[in-house]
Amino acid sequence: MNAVGRNADLWTLLHEGGHAFHVFATRAEPVYAYRHSPMEFAEVASMG
């Protein structure tokens, strides 16, 4: 992630933090596919 001092940088940081939270929250999930979702699914929430 690059930052240039704009408000959009904060939104990008929060977005990437969501990915980090997902990894943290699903790390003990027994089904591998639930821990590592495809990129198409991982970005669904940010497309709306």
18 lies in a domain? Answer: yes
C-beta separation of 3 from 9 below 8 A = yes
- Predicted confidence at residue 22, as pLDDT, reads 84
Q: Is 3 left (phi over 0), alpha (psi -120 to 50) or beta?
A: beta
Domain count, the chain: 1
2 lies in a domain? Answer: no
- Predicted confidence at residue 48, as pLDDT, reads 65
26: containing domain: 7-47
33 lies in a domain? Answer: yes
- Predicted confidence at residue 10, as pLDDT, reads 93
> Which of 48, 47, 45 lies closest to 22, judged by CA?
45
39 lies in a domain? Answer: yes
38 lies in a domain? Answer: yes
1 lies in a domain? Answer: no
The mean pLDDT values, 10 residues at a time, for the chain of 48 residues are 86 89 87 80 76
pTM of the entire structure? Answer: 0.67
